[in-house]
């Protein structure tokens, strides 16, 4: 039955399941660029659901600003505190200057040296999960992105567990006070580390980035601190959500798991489907700096525009049978890492981790069983599973 009235994209609890995909489908078909003004947002915004419109917004960084915030629900004060000093909420020229420096440790060349390490971390985590299964596989999988990013950043081994816990708290705690406190602790941790490193030069990752300051075009200490925190946040939760979603899909679709086990599908190809399916970055927000058209809507200067990556990834204009999880999907042009100048800094690293996870599962695991109810976190921003009672069997 076709619905006549627009469904509510902001109905409480919608993102605690996967019912929002039907809501997106309705908007793509009936009102692809719709005006929304949910409770809790001071102003309304244009909500963009079709793949090609989403791409056009992401690619238009001249008229689409990130410096006024890149997500719903963030307060003006919090954004102003980091605007143009943290990549994800920066516009050119600051964005260009900072990204040129920050991208270096995450380039293909540098990361290819980390491949063995990533494989070892993943092997250790999966082996532990197989021999000592816990009540929630996520609490074991979360070590993969945390250990890898902490090692790349050269953080002391003893701090990794604390860092992982604080990052989760800073982004996922239901208490705003705890989120703010955890963020403050992370900033303080990196401030001390950057200051100390100016003296000792002991941390290669930090020294590599501060060395760029010599010509006056690099990052200030404050920018380094903000961006380390952004890298940590970007590197931890998102990848964990994709690993968890991939696992659940393989449990629920034994035919797809068989294709992996038989080696019929390259891990790199299956990785792309895991990313398309999981959408850990569900929406992004931009603010128009000039009048422009999105789809057939005229956007006025100063108006906000939200793109729904989860909707774009299910657009039938681009993907055949998009509601089917197909580990061998060819030509998978998902937008899970965004597009344009803000395209994810850690996409290569995330792909390495996910592909290593698939290879390791194939090598160590024969079956997986679901032992309870998986649960989603309910967020329409960093969306994903936060409970996954799955057991891996050797």
Q: Comparing C-alpha atoms, which of 234, 209, 197 is closest to residue 97?
A: 209
Find the shortest distance in angstroms from Cβ 262 to ligand HEM.
26
- 137 lies in the binding site for ligand HEM (CB under 6 A): no
Choosing from 28, 68, 85, 99, the residue that interacts with ligand HEM (CB under 6 A) is 99
For ligand HEM, the closer CB: 99 or 143: 99
Choosing from 57, 141, 284, 299, the residue that interacts with ligand HEM (CB under 6 A) is 284
Choosing from 32, 69, 234, 374, the residue that interacts with ligand HEM (CB under 6 A) is 234
Burial of 151 from C-beta contacts in 10 A (0-12 / 13-18 / 19+): middle
- 92 lies in the binding site for ligand HEM (CB under 6 A): no
Count of residues that bind ligand HEM according to CB under 6 A: 27
Find the shortest distance in angstroms from Cβ 99 to ligand HEM.
5
- Cα dihedral 321, 325, 326, 330 sign: positive
Choosing from 55, 114, 231, 248, the residue that interacts with ligand HEM (CB under 6 A) is 231
Of 132-140, 170-178, 280-288, 364-372, which part binds ligand HEM (CB under 6 A)? 280-288
The encoded tokens of residue 220 equal 């200030």
Find the shortest distance in angstroms from Cβ 71 to ligand HEM.
8
- Measuring CA to CA, how many Å separate 134 from each of 82, 129, 337, 392? 39, 7, 31, 10
The encoded tokens of residue 115 equal 């491949």
Nearest-angstrom CA–CA distance, 366 and 362: 7
Of 19-27, 134-142, 173-181, 235-243, which part binds ligand HEM (CB under 6 A)? 235-243
Choosing from 32, 235, 267, 322, the residue that interacts with ligand HEM (CB under 6 A) is 235
Assess contact for 335 and 54: CB atoms under 8 A.
yes
- 306 lies in the binding site for ligand HEM (CB under 6 A): no
Choosing from 32, 69, 218, 338, the residue that interacts with ligand HEM (CB under 6 A) is 338
Query: Residues near 68 by Cβ (< 8 Å), separated by ≥ 6?
Result: 79, 83, 287, 304
Beta-strand relationship, 283-288 and 304-308: antiparallel
Choosing from 66, 203, 229, 287, the residue that interacts with ligand HEM (CB under 6 A) is 66
Find the shortest distance in angstroms from Cβ 185 to ligand HEM.
20
Find the shortest distance in angstroms from Cβ 349 to ligand HEM.
4
Find the shortest distance in angstroms from Cβ 331 to ligand HEM.
19
Assess contact for 49 and 27: CB atoms under 8 A.
yes
For ligand HEM, the closer CB: 89 or 182: 89
For ligand HEM, the closer CB: 57 or 299: 57
Find the shortest distance in angstroms from Cβ 345 to ligand HEM.
4
- 121 lies in the binding site for ligand HEM (CB under 6 A): no
Burial of 137 from C-beta contacts in 10 A (0-12 / 13-18 / 19+): buried
- 69 lies in the binding site for ligand HEM (CB under 6 A): no
* DSSP-based helix, strand, coil % in the chain, nearest 5: 55, 10, 35
Q: Please give the residue ranges that form the binding site for ligand HEM (CB under 6 A).
A: 58, 66, 70, 87-88, 99, 106, 230-231, 234-235, 238-239, 242, 275, 280-281, 284, 336-338, 342, 344-346, 349-350
């Amino acid at each position: 039955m076709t619905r006549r009235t627009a469904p509510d994209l902001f109905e409480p609890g919608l993102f605690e399941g996967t019912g929002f995909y039907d809501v997106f489908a309705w908007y793509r078909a009936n009102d692809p660029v719709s005006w929304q003004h949910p409770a809790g947002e001071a102003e309304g915004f244009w909500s963009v659901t079709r793949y090609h419109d989403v791409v056009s917004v992401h690619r238009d960084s001249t008229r689409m600003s990130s410096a006024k915030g890149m997500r719903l629900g963030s307060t003006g004060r919090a954004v102003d505190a980091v605007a143009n000093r943290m990549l994800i909420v920066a516009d050119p020229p600051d964005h260009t200057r900072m990204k040129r420096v920050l991208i270096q440790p995450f380039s293909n060349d540098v990361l290819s040296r980390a491949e063995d390490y990533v494989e070892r971390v993943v092997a250790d985590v999966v082996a532990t999960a197989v021999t000592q299964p816990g009540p929630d596989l996520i609490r074991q999988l979360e070590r993969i992105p945390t250990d890898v990013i902490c090692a790349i950043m050269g953080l002391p081994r003893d701090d990794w567990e604390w860092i992982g816990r604080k990052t989760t708290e800073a982004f996922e705690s239901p208490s705003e006070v705890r989120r703010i406190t955890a963020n403050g602790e992370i900033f303080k941790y990196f401030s001390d580390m950057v200051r100390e490193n100016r003296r000792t030069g002991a941390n290669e990752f930090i020294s590599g980035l501060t060395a760029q300051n010599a010509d006056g075009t690099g990052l200030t200490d404050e920018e380094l601190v903000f961006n380390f925190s952004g890298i940590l946040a970007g590197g931890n939760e998102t990848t964990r959500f994709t690993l968890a979603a991939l696992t659940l899909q393989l449990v629920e679709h034994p035919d797809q798991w068989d294709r992996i086990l038989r080696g019929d599908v390259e891990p790199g190809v299956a990785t792309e489907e895991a990313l398309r399916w999981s959408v850990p970055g569900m929406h992004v927000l931009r603010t128009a700096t000039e009048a422009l058209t999105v789809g057939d809507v005229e956007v006025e200067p100063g108006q906000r525009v939200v793109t729904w990556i989860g909707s774009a990834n299910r657009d039938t204009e681009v993907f055949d049978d998009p509601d089917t999880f197909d580990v061998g999907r060819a030509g998978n042009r998902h937008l899970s890492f965004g597009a344009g100048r803000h395209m994810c800094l850690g996409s290569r690293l995330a792909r390495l981790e996910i592909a290593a996870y698939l290879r390791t599962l194939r090598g160590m695991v024969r079956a997986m069983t679901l032992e309870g109810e998986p649960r989603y976190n309910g967020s329409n921003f960093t969306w994903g599973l936060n409970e996954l009672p799955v057991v891996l069997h050797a």
